[in-house]
Amino acid sequence: MSGRHTGEQHSHTVEGTDPQLYVGVHDPAADARLRPVLLLHGFSSSSKLNWEDTGWVGALLDAGRRVITVDLPGHGRSGAPEDMDSYSPSRIRADLLQVAFDAGVRPLQDGDPSSGLDIVGYSLGSRLAWEFGATQPEIVHRLVLGGPNVADPLAAFDLVAAQDYLADGTPIADESTARLLKMALLLPSNNIFALLSLVEAIKAEPYDPAEAVPHVPMLLVAGDKDERAASLPQLAGLARNAGAMVEEVMLPGRNHTNAVTSRAFKQAAITFLAV
């Protein structure tokens, strides 16, 4: 990996509280004066697992891009705030906007390739990127959404069953809930109670991609073994109907877990964002 990395825990406040987010700013070896790329990881993952260990940060740096990584609340190296509001998608998007400004992101300007921001999201990160792109058109240039869905799987998560399992080992009947909780418990860096707060906050703010649609060019990517891939045409249709240019890529033999590690995914994203 070429370039310079600085890890920092921003102390900016939004509505009077500290989001305790760990932010990594990675600078390329040579400044190509290109707009930065914000990377948003998935549920129960982290910027290290999704983006650093899989080679995304290095590949983007080699392409001359400045990279901003953020660990979501309760994930990776971020803190676990006690207030529920810190976990709501709308609050997270507000924090991400502040992170972008703190990193020097400026509004888009015609003819200036260093202005604005590109975003790559995966799974939950794709939901956040979709909503961020729809609400911040003045800074978002292009979106790459990996493993996206028209509905948030966390909305159906059985919180009571998960809490009972953690309390006394009561088996979880719902397969999806059991799978997501098992995944969350695999990573020692995750604060499981913070992740459950995130699920509760997501349930309180249902995801409806038709409610606010980004008008920016976007690339939709999924593994052909990912059950969520079936919703790609619906998302693409929403964006095209709103006037956005959309490209779709299916990754042969990949599922929701391993699509993010695909070299073809990285290459497609870097090519798409080079415009």
Element housing 29 (H / E): none
pLDDT band at 186, cuts 50/70/90? confident
Architecture per CATH, 4-154+208-273? 3-Layer(aba) Sandwich (3.40)
| Per-residue model confidence as pLDDT tens digits over 24-60 | 999 999 888 999 999 999 999 999 999 999 999 999 9
Spatial CA neighbour of 176 closest among 188, 168, 187, 184: 184
Better pLDDT: 218 or 3: 218
- Please report the pLDDT score of residue 68 as a whole number: 98
| Per-residue model confidence as pLDDT tens digits over 116-159 | 999 999 999 999 999 999 999 999 999 999 999 999 888 889 99
For the chain, percent of residues with pLDDT exceeding 90: 81
Rounded Cα distance between 187 and 201, Å, is 21
Spatial CA neighbour of 132 closest among 8, 38, 21: 38
In the DSSP assignment, the letter for residue 216 is S
The first and second tokens of residue 104, run together, are 């020097």
The first and second tokens of residue 49, run together, are 């697992």
Rounded Cα distance between 77 and 272, Å, is 30
The answer to whether residue 15 scores a pLDDT higher than 70 is no
Residues 6+ apart with CB under 8 A from 219: 142, 143, 144, 145, 246, 247, 248, 249, 268, 269, 272
Coil, strand, or helix at residue 193?
helix
* Count of alpha carbons within 13 angstroms of residue 80, beta-carbon side: 13
- Please report the pLDDT score of residue 16 as a whole number: 53
Enumerate the domain spans of the chain.
Answer: 4-154+208-273
- The strands making up 22-27's β-sheet, listed across from edge to edge, are 4-9, 22-27, 67-71, 37-40, 117-122, 140-146, 218-223, 246-251
For the chain, percent of residues with pLDDT exceeding 70: 94
Q: Do the beta carbons of residue 77 and residue 46 sit within 8 Å?
A: yes
Burial grade of 174 (CB within 10 A; 0-12, 13-18, 19 or more): middle
Rounded Cα distance between 89 and 228, Å, is 20
